Amino acid sequence: LAMILAMILLFWAFKSLEFGQVFGSAIEMFEKGEGVHLFGMEMSIGAVTTAVTALFLMGAAGKSAQIPLYVWLPDAMAGPTPVSALIHAATMVTSGIYLMVRSNVLLEIARESGNLVFGLVSSPDLIALTGALTALVAGLIAFTQFDIKKVLAYSTVSQLGFMVAAAGMGAYVAAMFHLIAHAFFKALLFLSAGSVIHGMEHGHHHVHEHDHGDDLHGVPEGDKHHEVEKFDPQDMRTMGGLRDKMPTTYVVYMIGALALSGIVPLAGFWSKDEILAHGSQNNQVVYWMLVVAAFFTAFYMGRQLKMVFFDKPRHAAAEHASESSPLMTRPLIALATLSVLGGLLNLPFLSESIKEANHGHPGGIWLGLEGWLEHSVQAFHLSEEGLIHLPHTPVVLSLPVAGASTVLAVLALALAFFVVYGKRPKTADERDPLQSTPIWWFSILPFEWFYMHTFVPGFKWLARWSADTIDWAFWHDFVHNNLIRDVFRGFANFASDVLDANGVDGLVNGSGRFTRYVGSIIRKTQSGYARNYALGVFLGTVILLAYFIFSY
């Protein structure tokens, strides 16, 4: 709905929905200080672009799972793992991000105009704050998940927040760079998770068939099927020790997890570093929120690696798990290669002097691969300041930001591996180390509980009110009964009583009556008596003779 409203507003203001025509008209009108008449009001182009981009944010929030419309994405991950990898991690959910990046001119005009949403913040800053808050909240919720795919699902929500924040800050190239790099390692992680689940199910079937799993010792025969049915192959608490059981899956999963955590030189390091570098120069609030979210990312991935692949198996199914077939592992190796080399798409220059020496274009310092994505953002004109380039991520390597992000990622991984989880949990039913800390309840209660007790009941009430009031009372009782049903009933009665009875039926029946009347008159001349016919012949002869006599 928000997207449709934005499109209506764009067409009303600029008489087109083509990006090129809209951008050209918006820039020209902004240069001249012209406005548009909407709904009887005079609105500046800055106000129009602010409204449009704010509506775009609402649409993208639903499509790309931004707070508070993010809860559908983890539920959608219940589908098949390849679907999660392709649609929910790499393609469909990123369409909102692309919309933001593609609308960069509108965002920059909104930023340049100084118009505020509800008098509080500009629409680009609102977009950046929404993305940063989503990255922070989703990363925090990932701490509390035991389902291997749910962790990756909330991780996807968090990384989408990074991209939205980048677009809001004007780091359009960085947003697209992270979108592409994230597709590599998140698809790898989802498909690797599918390999883990497949291995756990194989081990579970092995235990069930041979009936010698540790979890079934001492269980009465009648209860064994019930115990088997309770097994969840996606529960990380039942895993552990899969590093030795599934070595190929372990290696590729480790590559994906480290890339997501932002460890140099993997793809995630370069794309995330560009976002953080831009934030450090343009928006300190968003920057620090993203730094904390990046720390959370490395921590929950370290937690997942520890629970899935390290220590001893915590369930008989993990003890008997086996590596997936080459048909499943070969695509993982290909994605792992892309997760390692994906940073080549937009390598930063080593220094400003190198960039200037190459005139801002890719040059032969790092295999000639610097700034490959920079051409995706063009320049536009504003008459007051001449040629204004859309702000983009610095393509010069920021050593302080890169170093700090790497150190934070390593610390978070070490904290999860050696401090918080260490040798725990040792059994599948042992309490998670975080469950006794405030962060656990802080992760669950304020967000999921708040969402389920505010937004969900609110939308249910709105749906019921809409059904009872708008759909039934207004549409059915008033519009349908009074305006549609009664009008059509009156027309049908008129057509039946007047047009059909007097028109169609009158024509058919009247022609029959006329024919019968004419026939009744003519029939009288046919009496059947010879004298009448002779009299007729005589009279006819007399008339003819009189005609000829008196005519001449």
Within 8 A by CB and 6+ apart from 166, the residues are 131, 172, 174, 175, 178, 274, 275, 278, 393
Among 34-38, 306-310, 393-397, 507-511, the minimum mean pLDDT is found in 393-397
Residue 131 is given by DSSP the state H
Is residue 64 domain-resident?
no
Is residue 285 domain-resident?
yes
Highest average pLDDT, of 80-89, 90-99, 167-176, comes from 167-176
Residue 378 and residue 514 share a domain:
no
Strand residue runs (E) in 226-301: none
Residue 430 and residue 491 share a domain:
no
Among 159-163, 453-457, 458-462, the minimum mean pLDDT is found in 453-457
Highest average pLDDT, of 86-90, 93-97, 365-369, 502-506, comes from 93-97
Phi, psi of 425 (to 5 degrees): -80, 145
Is residue 546 domain-resident?
yes
Residue 345 and residue 292 share a domain:
yes
| Cross-strand pairs, 370 | 347
Is residue 101 domain-resident?
no
Q: What is the pLDDT of residue 421?
A: 79
Residue 484 and residue 389 share a domain:
no
Is residue 204 domain-resident?
yes
Residue 470 and residue 420 share a domain:
no
The span from the CA of 186 to the CA of 189, in Å, is: 5
The answer to whether the CB of 180 falls within 8 A of the CB of 345 is yes
Query: Which tops the pLDDT comparison, 151 or 434?
Result: 151
pLDDT at 436 over 80: no
The answer to whether the CB of 252 falls within 8 A of the CB of 330 is no
The span from the CA of 415 to the CA of 412, in Å, is: 5
Residue 532 and residue 429 share a domain:
no
pLDDT at 181 over 80: yes
**End-to-end C-alpha distance for the chain, whole angstroms:** 97
Is residue 75 domain-resident?
no
Is residue 263 domain-resident?
yes
Residue 166 and residue 221 share a domain:
yes
Angle 2-14/19-32 helices, nearest 10 degrees? 60
Q: What is the pLDDT of residue 113?
A: 82
Residue 535 and residue 392 share a domain:
no
Query: Which tops the pLDDT comparison, 482 or 487?
Result: 487
The answer to whether the CB of 261 falls within 8 A of the CB of 301 is yes
Position 85 confidence tier, pLDDT thresholds 50, 70, 90: low
Which amino acid is located at 160 in the chain? L
Which amino acid is located at 30 in the chain? F
Residue 360 and residue 273 share a domain:
yes
| Cross-strand pairs, 349 | 396
Among 244-258, 344-358, 527-541, the minimum mean pLDDT is found in 344-358
Last residue of a domain, one of 402, 436, 470: 436
Residue 217 and residue 356 share a domain:
yes
The answer to whether the CB of 182 falls within 8 A of the CB of 268 is yes
**Helix segments in 33-94, DSSP class H:** 45-63, 72-76, 81-83
Tell me which residue range forms the domain holding 238: 120-436
Does an H or E element contain 402, and which? helix 399-414
pLDDT at 347 over 80: no
Residue 518 and residue 416 share a domain:
no
What is the CB-side half-sphere exposure of residue 485 using CA atoms within 13 A? 8
Is residue 102 domain-resident?
no
Highest average pLDDT, of 286-290, 393-397, 415-419, comes from 286-290
Vertex 80 angle, CA 77 and 85, to 5°: 65
Residue 466 and residue 422 share a domain:
no
Tell me: cis bond preceding 394? Omega within 30 of 0 counts: no
**Count of domains in the chain?**
2
pLDDT at 310 over 70: yes
Q: What is the pLDDT of residue 224?
A: 47
Q: What is the pLDDT of residue 344?
A: 80
The span from the CA of 271 to the CA of 418, in Å, is: 28
